[in-house]
Each structure stands twice: as structure tokens, then as C-alpha cells.
Structure 1
């Protein structure tokens, strides 16, 4: 199970020597992986299928210095960090730090972004800021989900999966050529499994999955120079609410942590539903040998109803029902250029999006409910270009830049209602506002130019080295939870944050292609970090409130190394390792009204110092078909879930052991797969909440990764 790309059309016995055939679009144009001066990991459909990967979180185990996981309190919201840079809070108005793209369509919101694996050609993970070619909110990197082209041949696939916890998944996919130039296709998939645990208060399943997914597309290629693709996708997630596991004793009610980490005492009930959908139109026209024009236009929308019981008890100590809604329109026009000794891409991008929401914080200890609601509308426009010039057959240089302007309008509302029950905003009893805490509108424009420069040199036909400097930024905004009564400056919002990255890399193959590798070393300067802190309000106000501000800066450096070694035609080994040193240089908070640097008491979140992945891949003839066996081990050193270290929630180092076996008959029509994940049944945290103290019933809770599971998968292809 290689973390470096394996070309889709290369026979398995030749995979380890296929470096020259690996094609990626990391620089918005098709290039071989060896020639791209960017740290890129790629997982192809073949690798994802061999290991039985079910969703995009499989990237975390196989990609160095990456955190890709399901958000706390959710089944389909994505949280991504690359090289210690990302965004933990999926609240509307907050921007992600790792960009997600499906067929070059930007996915602005994390809700519904835990993409299940189907119809995929490959997934590319670009590490480091990608501000020049991918724009705003890619300061950590970008994840590109590339779907499989339809082609013009009749194709059919049916797949059924059964497994632990009553898992039963079904997928049907088909491509039908209507004419010699027009094809239509579609995929329908359902994913089900029972909960790993149970809600001991309501009797509901806990950590279950109930998802339906659809994708339909049509492709038209009337000539060799023109192609048009229209695609539609939809995901409906009706899994049960995921509340988490209480980690400490409560101060009210006498509740102790459940013995099973997947169980909860949560009493909050309500609808849990996530619906996301989108349509895209992609056209490409080859004008001549020098110029190709590409257009990408898309519309997406998403709606989420959710309930999270933060205190994990039947009491309304800290219950949060919430609603999110968003929509976005994006359009992009690219020009792809190719000359005798130069190539490049230039383009224009426009986004018109709206993100809104409302949530209650039912605080039984205070006898009130805190209602919050708001909306952020964004119009973003950018222009970019990136060109490469070949000074010789071996020396190449690239230069690029992107100008971005984000115009944002915000509405923020926060109020107290008497009574620890739902507010009128969440369908509760209609009653007057006890106190309005925040009620303002604001607008601002955030502009930034993000450059990139790189030099690469081919030491041989098989090995290339590069040096690069790149920059990315995450847009500014306003805290949708801001309490202007306690902290008046929340109405001023926060400014963009930036990362400037310096990188050296070496990639290629040696030993006649039997050993191939990709290595990179990087140093990043992270400035104006947007951090949520607990602030003590200045007089005349009193109290404590959460505030989002440009409170910190950090220095990040490390290295990544990936390799695949082919020992024989039937046996290969893969290894990936990432080292990360992430330290705050500054972390300011307000203590008694004065800014104080507390960086010596803070640690960056989701930044394990060591991530590693190792696997063997054996394949050979067996029982009239082809048998592949892939044992794998992934490791993450200790890390913090929050900037403030907490021994209750900090995660110790852990390792996951997986084993996959697939058999394909000689005709290629039938395939049987047997997969075991987390075979040692490792218990590990992937998220948490910390509301310690008597006011909120000492609510410290954690969310855990899946336990040991087994799956049997049957596939038929025609």
C-alpha cells in the first residue's frame, strides 16, 4: 500500500518502477510527479481499492504530516491539518486551512466533506501553502479528489460489503455510451453500520453510519480538441447524533465516565441530518498546440441539522442544538500554455457564497439559554499565473503569483433567554429576550498577493531536485460566537493569517527503477494566527468569553520521506515518514486588560512530531486468479487536541495495524476482498471538548477513532 502514486494503467508487477508514468495536476496542468516542484502524495483508485478504503480519512494513515479525520460531534464533517496548519472549528464563518477540491471545484465548507470512496481516479495531497494556484484557505495545503472519467465504453460495476457491527454497503456504477462521442454514467451507493457504542440515556445507537450517496455525469467529446463534462452529486447523512464520551466525573448528578469509550449518557435529542449537493460544468478546448482554454463552473449547497450534548449527561448542563446552511457559486477560466521551452497556466476565479447558522447553548447551571445566529456572505475574485521556463534540458525555473480580493458582509446576533430550554431560534417556547449580548452587521475587504518561486534541476533522467518559496493565506472574518457585551472588540473581527514556506525536495528512482522515493525538507513562518482564546473582559464589562483574534505566530519545520522498494516482481515494500516541529513564537491573550504572551504554556494542536507508515505488498497467481496481500502499520506520536495542553484529552502515541487481502479472477470480472482494520483494537482520541468547572458540570468529553473491524467485499465488473 504505497503512499506514493501508482499509475492507474501500469501492471502491478511494474508499479515500483513506474515513476515516469505518474501523472498529477498539482500545478493545474498534467505533469509527471517527478517533474513537479511540490511535495505531493497520491493514492490511486487501485491502491484505495486494494486496502478497502471507505472514505477520505484513509489519507491520514498514509500521508506524512497530515491529519484528515471526522470532526468531533459529527459523522460527515471534515477536519484537515497538513504540517500543523488547519482549522479545528467547523462553525460557519470560519475558513478551513486545507483546501478541498473535487474535480477542481472548491468545496468551501467542511460539512458533508468526508467523501466516501467511489468513482475515484486518484486523490492528490499537496503539502505546504498553495496560495498561487489554489488561492485562499490553502495555507496548510490542498486535497484534490479526482473522479474517474467516463470514457466511451460500456461499463458496469456492482459491489456489496458486509462486516463488523452489521455493516452492509452497496454500490452500483454504470457507464453507457449513447453515441460515439456522448456517454452518460452514474453511481448510487449506500453505507450502513450499527453503532460502535450506545447512548445509555436514550437507547439510540452511537457512532453508527447511515449515508446515501449519488453521482451522475455526462461527457461529450465531439472532436479531439473539445470536451464537455456535466456532473451532479448528492450525499444524505442521517446517522444518529454523535455526542462523545465523558472523560471525568460530573459535578452534578453523580455521573462517572462510561466503561466503553463509545458509550454516552447524553440526553439531548433532536434531528441529525446533513444534506450536500452540487452540479458542475467543465469544458476544455484546445485552440492550437500552444493554447488550451478550460472553464470550470459549479454550484453547491448544504444543510445541516445537528444536536451535540457537550456535558454527556441527561441534564441540560451544556446542550447545543444547531443548524447550518450554505451555498456557493464558483466559476474559473484557465488558459494552459505550452511553448518550445516554456509552459504555464493563467486564470481568473470568482466565488459568490453564503454561510449561515444558528445554535443554542443551553446552560442549565445558569438557568438560561444563549442563542447565537448569523450569516457571512463572501464575494471573492482572484487572478493568477504560474509559468515554467527551461533554461536547459536539466535546469528549470518557475514563477507565479495570485491576487485575491475577498469582500465579506457579516451579521452576528447573540442573546440570553431565561430558562434552560431551547430558544425561539431553535423552535423553543416563544419568549422575550432577557439580554441582547451581540447584534451588529459588518463588512470588510481582505486583499492579498501570494507568490511562488521554484528552481528544479534534473540530476539525471531519473532524479530531480527542487527548491521553492511559496505563500498562502486564510481569509479574515468575524467570530459568530462573539460576545460584544463582554468583549466589545469582537465587532472589529480578525484579519487574514499567512504562511510563508521554504522547501527543498528530491524525488525520482534509482537501482534501475526498483527503488523510488520523494523527499522534502521545509521551514514555514506562520503569522497572524487566528486563535480562539478565553479572554477576561476589560472594564466596565466583567466575565469571560471566547474570542477569535490574530493572537499568535509560529515557526514550523520538518521533513517528509516516502519510498517504495521492489524486491521481486511479486514483493514490494513501502515506507513513509514525516517529522514536524511546530512551536508558538507568540500567543497573546488579555489578562486583566493587558496583552500577555502565554506562548510558553501553549502547544499547537494536531501536530504530532512523528507520523509513519509501513506496508508490504505481495501479489501472485492463486486459484486461477491473482491474489494480493497487504499488511500495513501506521504510527502517530503524541499530540494535543487543543492549544492548551490537557492530560485528560492529550493523545498518547499509538499505532494501527491493518491487513487486506484481495483476489481477482483471471477474467477481471470478479473480485473478493477481506479487510481487517485496527487489528489490535487500539483506543485513540480524534477530538474533544473541554468545559471544565462546576458551571458546565465539568464537561470534558472525547471522541474516538473506530475500533477493530472486519469487512468482506464482493465486486462484479463488466
Structure 2
């Protein structure tokens, strides 16, 4: 109890100290009603975190926003680089491919990207929900801004946003003639090209298009085949159109497609191979493989939004979208030249979504309401090739999901200072799944024929759930530039079916698991100080995390026995501080700090050795959730006779991180990454060129891995053979130091 009290006090002290300091500063300036736009003042930032356009500083939500210029100035390639700049957030490329996203916010996310499993962080492209992590590592191109919302967003954004949401907002069509070309060359033979443009065909019909190709050689290689490892070969494109037949009615259409043909990634072995006796390689980016390195990830989508302003107060909106994805990849789990533990996999998914909104806005009252429909199918097949045993275990199946929701959220402003927000969402989820698991003789790839030895699972199952997710917040605007808020939010992550289920080992493996539930309480402040030269935002949160879905996997002679259980409850608490200081008209500093104390209260785990269900909460820790995350950056503008120079840099820090819930050799100690950029802008605004150095000090940092370790004694000595006869502990790493030169032209 003493320990828990101290932790509450630590978090409260951090934010209360900031609040006390702000009150004094704010009172000193509350009589200043002048709105002159001096150069040294910070710019206003508009966000749509609550499904309407609002000033970032007036939204009672912990949200970070990054514009296209923000991201281009630092040479950002994809959304995973935002991890360094958003507190308490993990955005990383997953293990085997370049395109699968691992996303965690405030300790909540999705560890396993298997089809049919649900994310804990919702990803949206122009308000269209992206259900699968495959292909969700979005490139920074043709984008207006990216918003990262922290904490449950279940009322307005629905299920699977219990950690938060990330909104990727593409560039709107304005009807102006625009053309932008941007190229990059750099380390490891980087060769990128991005082209975008738009024009007006008539006074009320606009069109636009964007295309990008990103290519890079590998950071390492597959030693035994000579293929690149960690290379990149990606193309993506988008076309859009906008028709405004009347002043009050607008139609927007968009179509996009992305193809990633980069090689599948090879992991770095941390231990000596039990099969070949090979020691770990010299470079963490080198690997070996017994599989083809082919990898193909395709995603594409269509969307149509209609906005109809009925009058000055009422607006009707419709968002219709269809998306589909396909992944064909090969992952060598043990990373040796022998087919000891190889996994070829194929994923396919499609989804149709329809949302209708009826929104109201007046002087004192805003209201967002709507209906939401989702129909999706996720299918897949993967084989676990155990070459040493001469067998292959193959899993396949599909999950059909149907979801309907009705939601509403209103904000009433009692006075110029006080406002109250109430909202709720009712969701009905239905799932139908089929699972097939079989054991074959020999090495079998998905399209191969092989002798069938046994059928381990062959079943169909169905489940449905309903859930009401409420939200309430109160907002107090102490002065024009200082706002306090307190909120309660509820969210849930949908239940499902274990697509690895093995009924031959566990007869109950066909039973669906239930949704996860999170209740979060948050207090925070939004402030701008010293004549709007300082922006300081802070949040303190406490989350009660219930019915956590725990994936339990253990090695057996012929594969992996798996089950997903609602076996854990946890408490998550912490704080976040984001700030920016305009030191002079040309120099600004920015900083973020995040702290998360996430602890399991109970974990009911079946111990196969004792045959008993045991509480292992004292042995488990949260995955992908460092206690501390921080970032310190600067931007210096320099003017010259040849144009403007902008020099920027940042130093980000993440404390020790556990890769899985159970401690392992893969866990990464704390580390810092430094980056710097120097960008030139021509006086006429048409040309720009930049030099970008990332991971300046070439820090080696492990992000993920696979852990199917051989049994060890108390001293850590291997005492037996692991899965397939191999000690499989392999890691995947972030990029080494890279240098790139970019040149852009805008017309």
C-alpha cells in the first residue's frame, strides 16, 4: 500500500506543480486581450479529434498533431518516426515485414498481428477505420497532418481504440493549380520520389493525384543467399476528386493503392544455434534463411464522403468506404540456413464501412451523432515448418465480423468559462469463425501437397457481444489561454477466436474470448503563456484495465499450443507533458515527457507442469511500454541572401522496454536517438533542399523479436532442445545511422 500511494503522489505532484506555476503566469496576462499576430507567437493548430474542427488548445483530449511541413522538415519517411515525438506511444514496424504496424499507447496495443485479432489503437485514413495492422505503416506523402489521440476514444471512434487513435488526414483539394515533386537519395542506395498535384476542371469540380516510390538497399544481408535484409521496395498512389454542386453540398472521392515488395526481414540470433552450432553474426542486420525472401503486401481502398449543410447549425455527413489487403510472406523464425522453424504465411482481408452523421453547432451547444456499420472478413493460412522433425503444422481459417453502432456526444457551454461534455456509444458485435489445423509429413508450403498425418482442429464457432461506452468531461477555461479539464472515458477491444487453436491439446480451444474493457480517468490542462510564446499541455491519467486478452503459447513436440484467455486485470497510471517555447522570432525549443506505471493486478495462467491455474502477476510486465519516454528538440531559422535555412534536431529517450509480457533476452535497455536536419527554402517558395541525419550516433536498438527459447536451468544454461530442436531467440532492430539529401519543387 505504501508503494502504491507513493506512485499516485509522484504522478499527481508532476502535474500539480505545473498547474500551480501556470496559474500565476496566466493571471499575470489575463488582461491582455490583444490578438496581434507577432512573428514570435506560436501558430494556432487545428485538429478534428472530436469529429469537428477545433483549436488544439480548446480540446479536452490528450492529442498531438503534426503537419506535413513538420514532418518534411525533419525528413520523416513514415508514421513510425512519430514514436520519438509523442509521449507514452509505441509506433514500430513489426517483426517480419516493412509494412505491419505495432502500435501501443499508454500500455495498450496489439502484440500479435495474426488475422482475426483486434488492435488496441485505432488507425484512420480520412476517418475510415483500418482494421488490420498489415499495410498500416503509412508513408508520409500527400498528407495534411497526422493526429495521435491518447486514451480511450470509444464514444466517437468506436471499439478497438482503448489505447487511443491515430488519424492520417490527407491533403484536401482546394481548386488551385498545384504541383509538388520531391526526390531523395541517401545511405544504402536510398532512391525516393514523390509527386503530387491538383487542379480544377470546372468551377465546382477538382481533381488531384499523388504517387510515391521508395527504394533502398538492405542495412544487412542474408549471408547464405546474398539477398538484401532490411531493404525497401514500395510504391503507393492516390487519386481524389471533389464536386461541390451547391454551396451547401460537397462530394469527395478517394482511391489509394500501396504495393510493398521489400524482402521479408531476417532476425538476428542472440544465441548459438543448437542445430548448426553457429555463433551470433557480427552485424545485427545480417541473418541467414532457409526460405525464399519474397514478400508482397498490397492494400487498396475506395471512399466517398458527402457533406450537406442543411443550415447554419445542422450538417449531415456520410462516409462510405471499402478496403482490402493481401500479404504473402516468409518468416524464418530461427534465422539459420536449416529449415528448423520456418513460417510461410498468407493473409487476406476486406472491409466495408458506412457511417452517417447528424451534427449540430450553435453558440452554446455542439452535438455529434451517428450510425456506424462495419462488415469485414479476415482470412489467413500459415505453416509452421519443423524441418528437423520432418513435419509441418498448418493453420488456416476465416473470421467474419459484423458490427453496428449508434453514438452521440454533446458539449454544452454554460458560461464563457464552464462547459460539460456527455456522450455514449452502443455497439453490437457479431463474429463467425472457422479454424482448421493439421499436421503434415515433410516440408509443406501453402500451395504444396503433402501427406496428412493428423487433424488437430476443424471447427466453426460464433459469438456476439454488445457494449455501451460512455464518456463525460468537464472543461474550465480559467483565462483566454489557460484551460483545465477532467474526463472519464470507457472503451472496449472486441473479442474473438484464437486462429491457432489446437483442440487435440486443448478441447476448449474453440471457445471465443471476450472483449477487453478499459475505464480511464484523466485530468489535464492546455495553456499558452507569455504572450503566446510558450505552449504547455499536460495530462494525468488512471486506467482500470479489465478482462485482458492473454495469448498463452507453449512449445510442444509438433508445434505451438495456443490459447487466448480473458485472464488478466491491470492498473495503468501516468502523466504526459508537451511543451514548445518560442525563444526568439527564429529559435524555438520543444520537449515532451511521458511516464507510465503499468502493473498487472492478476494473471490467471495455467501451468502445464503443475496442472494448476496460478496467479503470475508478479512475474509479468507490460510489453512495448517503457516507463519513461522523452524528447527534446529545437528549430533554428537562419535568413540569408540565397533564401532561408532551417536547422532542427531532436534527442529522444526510451527507458528499458520488455518485448513480451514475460522477461526474456530480447528485452531492451534504455537508449537515446539523436537526429538533425538542415533545410533550405528559396525566397520564391518554390524550391527546397534538405540534409537529414537520423540516428546520428548509430545507436543499436532492438525493437521486437521471437522468443521460443530452449529450456534453461536456474543459472541460464541450456538443458534441452527448444521448439523444433532449436533455441530460437531472434531480434529485429531499428535503423542504423542514415544520411539523406532531399530536393523539392512546389508550383
Q: Which interval holds the TM-score relative to the shorter structure?
A: over 0.9
Identify the match of residue 640 of structure 1 among 648, 658, 664.
658
2:291 is paired with a residue of what secondary structure? coil
Range moving further from structure 2, 251-260 or 187-196:
251-260
CA distance in 2: counterparts of 1:542 and 1:492, whole angstroms: 22
Report what 2:739 is aligned to: 710
Deviation at 1:223, TM superposition (A): 2.7
Is contact 2:463–2:512 with CA below 8 Å preserved after alignment? no
Does 2:618 correspond to 1:600?
A: yes
Report what 1:688 is aligned to: 705
Report what 1:672 is aligned to: 689
Report what 1:243 is aligned to: 266
CA distance in 2: counterparts of 1:544 and 1:703, whole angstroms: 21
Deviation at 1:314, TM superposition (A): 1.0
Is contact 1:366–1:695 with CA below 8 Å preserved after alignment? no
1:55-454 paired onto structure 2 within 5 Å = 55-269=78-292, 271-419=294-442, 421-423=443-445, 426-428=446-448, 430-454=449-473
Deviation at 1:619, TM superposition (A): 0.5
1:645-664 paired onto structure 2 within 5 Å = 645-646=663-664, 648-664=665-681
Identify the match of residue 486 of structure 2 among 453, 456, 467.
467
Is contact 1:157–1:174 with CA below 8 Å preserved after alignment? yes
Report what 2:629 is aligned to: 611
Report what 1:545 is aligned to: 561
Identify the match of residue 17 of structure 1 among 42, 47, 59.
42
Report what 1:498 is aligned to: 517
1:61-113 CA distance string (max 9 Å, x none): 10000000101111111110000100011110100110000000000111111
1:524 is paired with a residue of what secondary structure? strand
Is contact 1:535–1:590 with CA below 8 Å preserved after alignment? no
- C-alpha change, 1:12 and 1:680, in structure 2 (3 Å) is farther
1:282-316 CA distance string (max 9 Å, x none): 11010011200111000000000000000101111
Deviation at 1:224, TM superposition (A): 2.5
CA distance in 2: counterparts of 1:561 and 1:494, whole angstroms: 36
Unpaired runs of 5+ residues, structure 1, are: 1-9
2:157 is paired with a residue of what secondary structure? coil
Is contact 2:40–2:533 with CA below 8 Å preserved after alignment? no
CA distance in 1: counterparts of 2:201 and 2:422, whole angstroms: 44
1:340 is paired with a residue of what secondary structure? coil
Superposed CA RMSD: 1.7
CA distance in 2: counterparts of 1:524 and 1:532, whole angstroms: 21
Is contact 1:123–1:146 with CA below 8 Å preserved after alignment? yes
Is contact 2:722–2:728 with CA below 8 Å preserved after alignment? no
Does 2:645 correspond to 1:627?
A: yes
Deviation at 1:446, TM superposition (A): 1.4
Deviation at 1:546, TM superposition (A): 2.0
Report what 1:6 is aligned to: none
TM-score (norm 1): 0.96
CA distance in 2: counterparts of 1:415 and 1:261, whole angstroms: 35
1:469-488 paired onto structure 2 within 5 Å = 469-488=488-507
Deviation at 1:535, TM superposition (A): 5.9
1:155-195 CA distance string (max 9 Å, x none): 00111100000001011111021011111110111000000
Deviation at 1:578, TM superposition (A): 0.3
- C-alpha change, 1:344 and 1:570, in structure 2 (3 Å) is same
CA distance in 1: counterparts of 2:333 and 2:555, whole angstroms: 23
Deviation at 1:243, TM superposition (A): 1.9
Is contact 1:372–1:481 with CA below 8 Å preserved after alignment? yes
Does 2:51 correspond to 1:31?
A: no
- C-alpha change, 1:92 and 1:536, in structure 2 (3 Å) is closer
1:252-303 CA distance string (max 9 Å, x none): 1112111100000122115310010001001101001120011100000000
1:503-523 CA distance string (max 9 Å, x none): 001002011111111100000
CA distance in 2: counterparts of 1:705 and 1:14, whole angstroms: 38
Deviation at 1:680, TM superposition (A): 0.2
CA distance in 1: counterparts of 2:450 and 2:653, whole angstroms: 53
How many residue pairs end up in the alignment?
699
CA distance in 2: counterparts of 1:688 and 1:535, whole angstroms: 16
CA distance in 2: counterparts of 1:22 and 1:695, whole angstroms: 53
CA distance in 2: counterparts of 1:578 and 1:713, whole angstroms: 32
2:510 is paired with a residue of what secondary structure? helix
1:255 is paired with a residue of what secondary structure? coil
CA distance in 1: counterparts of 2:40 and 2:425, whole angstroms: 36
Is contact 1:486–1:542 with CA below 8 Å preserved after alignment? no
Is contact 2:266–2:286 with CA below 8 Å preserved after alignment? no
CA distance in 2: counterparts of 1:535 and 1:67, whole angstroms: 26
Deviation at 1:356, TM superposition (A): 0.2
1:662 is paired with a residue of what secondary structure? strand
1:556-595 paired onto structure 2 within 5 Å = 556-591=572-607, 592-595=610-613
Report what 1:509 is aligned to: 528
Unpaired runs of 5+ residues, structure 2, are: 1-34, 711-720
2:155 is paired with a residue of what secondary structure? coil
- C-alpha change, 1:172 and 1:543, in structure 2 (3 Å) is closer
- C-alpha change, 1:632 and 1:16, in structure 2 (3 Å) is farther
CA distance in 2: counterparts of 1:482 and 1:543, whole angstroms: 12
CA distance in 1: counterparts of 2:323 and 2:41, whole angstroms: 39
1:200 is paired with a residue of what secondary structure? coil
Deviation at 1:623, TM superposition (A): 3.3
1:599 is paired with a residue of what secondary structure? coil
1:348-381 CA distance string (max 9 Å, x none): 0001100000000001233210000010000100
- C-alpha change, 1:15 and 1:675, in structure 2 (3 Å) is farther
CA distance in 2: counterparts of 1:14 and 1:652, whole angstroms: 42
- C-alpha change, 1:271 and 1:179, in structure 2 (3 Å) is same
Does 2:727 correspond to 1:698?
A: yes
Deviation at 1:624, TM superposition (A): 2.5
1:49 is paired with a residue of what secondary structure? helix
- C-alpha change, 1:219 and 1:404, in structure 2 (3 Å) is same
TM-score (norm 2): 0.92
CA distance in 1: counterparts of 2:389 and 2:574, whole angstroms: 46
1:638 is paired with a residue of what secondary structure? coil
Deviation at 1:635, TM superposition (A): 0.5
Is contact 1:270–1:321 with CA below 8 Å preserved after alignment? no
Deviation at 1:17, TM superposition (A): 2.4
Is contact 1:66–1:82 with CA below 8 Å preserved after alignment? yes
Deviation at 1:593, TM superposition (A): 3.1
1:528-579 CA distance string (max 9 Å, x none): 1111123699xxx999722111111110000000001111101110000101
Range moving further from structure 2, 215-224 or 96-105:
215-224
2:81 is paired with a residue of what secondary structure? helix
CA distance in 1: counterparts of 2:93 and 2:379, whole angstroms: 21
Report what 1:527 is aligned to: 546
